[in-house]
Amino acid sequence: MAAVAFSDDEKRATLNGIVHPLVAHRRSELIAAAHEDAVIVEDIPLLVESQMAPMFPLVIVVNADPELRVKRLIEYRGFTEEDARARIAAQATEEQRRAVADVWLDNSGSPGAVVEQARTLWHERILPFAHNLKIEQPARRDAAV
């Protein structure tokens, strides 16, 4: 199905029109069922393309060079090179993704490297933000001249 959808803009739009309302409904169910103290992290592959970035207080983009992405799609997901390149060509450009990113994680190294970046982000930014929301207190910043 992906080979068809990513080779034709009209077919991809039709597929998205079917799938996205179902995903949105399930998303709403999961958020409603979450504990009130839960930190909700959403993995949204088409965040930029669907223009949803403004809905979120923090947008994290995980990036790798397109050639590395092609290599990984072939190696880990069994794509043909043509399918991998079609998938990437249908996605937002790096420039478009940078425009909405609050945080940019580089995924060109080992899996452990990006995990460590995410772990640091979790402890140094996301958890403090969640704590401040819970106690209804803005973040404290030293005045800078």
Kindly list the domain boundaries of the chain, sorted by start residue: 2-134
Residues 20-48 have a mean pLDDT of 93
pTM of the model: 0.81
Tell me which amino acid residue 22 is: L
Q: Could you please state the CATH topology (level 3) that the domain comprising 2-134 is classified under.
A: Rossmann fold (3.40.50)
The helix or strand, by DSSP H or E, that contains position 29, with its residue range, turns out to be: helix 9-33
pLDDT for 145 equals 72
pLDDT for residue 62 is more than 90: yes
pLDDT value, residue 7 = 73
- For 92-106, write each residue's pLDDT tens digit: 999 999 999 999 999
- Spatial contact of 12 and 5, defined as CB atoms under 8 Å apart: yes
- The closest of 6, 9, 1 to 88, measured between CA atoms, is 6
pLDDT tens digits along 106-127: 999 998 999 999 999 999 999 9
CA dist 87 and 94 (Å) reads 14
Antiparallel, parallel or unpaired: β 60-63 and 103-106: parallel
